[in-house]
Amino acid sequence: MKRRDFLATGAAGLGSTALSGCVNITKTSESPALPFPGNTGDALIQPIDAPMRPIKSSMDRVTRTIVGLRPYRSPGPRLEAVKVGSKDVVHNYGHGGGGVSLSWGVAELAASMVKEFGQREIAVLGSGAIGLSTALQLQRSGMDVTIYAKDFPPYTTSNVAGAMWHPVTLFDRDQVTPETMAMLHLASKIAMSRFIRYANDPKYGVYWIRQFSLSDRPMNTSEPYIGGDEIYPGMRRNASNGPFGFKFYDAYYTLMVDSDIYMRALVNDFLSNGGNMVEQTFETESDLEALPQSAIVNCMGLGSGEVFGDETVTPIRGQLSFLLPQNDIDYGYAGGFGARGTLYSFPRRTGILLGGSGDRGDWDLSPRQSEVERMVEGHAWLASRLA
Ligand SMILES: Cc1cc2nc3c(=O)[nH]c(=O)nc-3n(C[C@H](O)[C@H](O)[C@H](O)COP(=O)(O)OP(=O)(O)OC[C@H]3O[C@@H](n4cnc5c(N)ncnc54)[C@H](O)[C@@H]3O)c2cc1C
């Protein structure tokens, strides 16, 4: 077991607590409404049917390409209290393609399980979105929290996340239990209500967008979206005559999370609340015995599979490219487009995000040029359909 003190104490003055991060944005009579396009700096987003400007997708506008491994667990995320040796452990891992979205919900549920242990000193393993939000939630309950992790932001999968608020790619349909589904619905409701408090606060990099799912075939409406359709404002399902010339679409408003800005803010909140961070790699579950805390929350994402011998955990590789930013884009979209494959785009203010890869069981973290080209060409084709 490797161990090195990373940061010993809180960083005073780095920011307020996670929950005080709301800013009221008001429109005064002195701030005239700008004509579309170009007013997406306004807190008020466009109507769903408002005109959409095309994104400019070309190789010479690509600024960077990154790869991450979604911590996928075929039966769905694990949220469970267990005994590991002499330690009381809450497992909180395996959130697939929706970990940022679910984070505050599973954090709140995990924290309520930890309270049952009756301890004040808590170890959180992992410093991604799940570990940090769980640690912040525990601090809020008056506990002293130390985060132990191999890597810290910006070197986590959570920093690679899209991250559009919509918990997806969470389980294999034939392996998920009704109990896990109920937990996911509840966690999603809690998480959305918590994320809304960050909206339009530049410190957290969270803001509203309109989002479209596109198809030439009718959209599946047999089940509600995770958490219930009502938590997605403006929801339209299986509407016809969609944007980009598609016959069918779902549309809704949701939150865009600029993960680098957001993760940095969570670290600052945790440290300014007096939290400790220790760099440490766990090889096996017996390594937990050496920790001074007897109450532990495991938020090690993909690493949990190896440390705890959980063979249901597997990576789903995802590659993203970023284009130069365009401040006239306030929408995201996703779909499967025949030979062009799956494609999605989200309007980060720091750059237009292009995605659409999901390779199950693939551990390769190196970017693939063929994927960059597929995405740039595919999104350019979609943009041309707006004309
Ligand atoms: C391309 C891509 C796009 C995505 N898009 C979205 C999206 O739009 N919306 C969304 O909600 N989610 C999205 N996700 C999914 C999201 O990134 C994950 O679900 C989320 O980051 C999981 O968070 P986590 O904290 O569990 O894991 P991580 O961020 O991976 O954090 C795990 C932590 O555990 C530590 N750790 C691991 N193993 C060990 C060990 N052995 N010893 C010590 N420490 C260890 C790591 O160092 C790290 O600190 C996307 C992911 C990818 C790759």
Nearest Cα neighbor of 352 from 368, 337, 333, 370 is 333
Long-range contacts of 225-229 (CB under 8 A, 24+ apart): 225/166, 225/252, 226/98, 226/166, 226/167, 226/168, 226/170, 226/184, 226/185, 226/188, 227/167, 227/184, 227/185, 227/187, 227/188, 227/189, 227/191, 227/192, 228/185, 228/188, 228/189
> What DSSP letter does each residue of 33-98 carry, written as one string?
PPPSSS-TTSSSPPPTTS--PPP---GGGEEEEEEEEEEEETT--EEEEEEETTEEEEEEE--GGG
pLDDT digits (tens, 9 = 90+) for 312-365: 999 999 999 999 999 899 999 999 999 999 999 999 999 999 999 999 999 999
Q: Is 151 in the pocket of ligand 1 (CB under 6 A)?
A: yes
Token pair, residue 120, equals 């004040």
Tell me the percentage of the chain whose pLDDT exceeds 90. Answer: 87
> What DSSP letter does each residue of 212-252 carry, written as one string?
EEEESSPPP-SSPPTT-GGGSTT-EEEEES-GGG-SEEEEE
Ligand 1 center to 235 CA (angstroms): 28
Four-way CATH pick for 2-7+73-192+259-312: 3.10.50.40, 3.40.50.300, 3.40.50.1100, 3.40.50.620: 3.40.50.1100
| pLDDT classification of 378: cutoffs 50, 70, 90 | very high
| pLDDT classification of 43: cutoffs 50, 70, 90 | low
Q: Is 70 in the pocket of ligand 1 (CB under 6 A)?
A: yes
Residue bearing the CA closest to ligand 1, atom 10 = 98
At 20 the pLDDT is 29
Nearest Cα neighbor of 100 from 345, 301, 331, 354 is 301
Q: What is the pTM of this model?
A: 0.90
Handedness of CA 204, 227, 163, 210 (dihedral sign): negative
Residue 6 has pLDDT above 60, yes or no: no
At 45 the pLDDT is 80
Residue 13 has pLDDT above 50, yes or no: no
Token pair, residue 231, equals 């938590």
152 Cα nearest atom in ligand 1: 49
Residue 19 has pLDDT above 60, yes or no: no
What are the helix and strand counts (H, E) for the chain?
A: 7, 16
pLDDT digits (tens, 9 = 90+) for 163-186: 999 999 999 999 999 999 999 999
In whole angstroms, give the CA distance from residue 216 to residue 299: 39
Q: Is 351 in the pocket of ligand 1 (CB under 6 A)?
A: no
Strands 276-281 and 2-7: antiparallel
Q: Which helix (H) or strand (E) holds 319?
A: strand 313-323
Residue type, 372: V
| pLDDT classification of 215: cutoffs 50, 70, 90 | very high
Beta bridge partners of 295: 88, 122
Question: Is-contact 101 167, C-beta < 8 A?
Answer: yes
Q: Is 320 in the pocket of ligand 1 (CB under 6 A)?
A: yes
Beta bridge partners of 351: 348
Buried b / exposed e across 222-234, counting CB within 10 Å, b at 16+? Answer: eeebbbeeebbee
At 44 the pLDDT is 61
In whole angstroms, give the CA distance from residue 281 to residue 150: 5
At 113 the pLDDT is 98
In whole angstroms, give the CA distance from residue 136 to residue 113: 15
pLDDT digits (tens, 9 = 90+) for 123-139: 999 999 999 999 999 99
Question: Is-contact 71 271, C-beta < 8 A?
Answer: no
Q: Where are the domains of the chain?
A: 2-7+73-192+259-312
Q: What is the mean pLDDT of the chain?
A: 90
Residue bearing the CA closest to ligand 1, atom 52 = 161
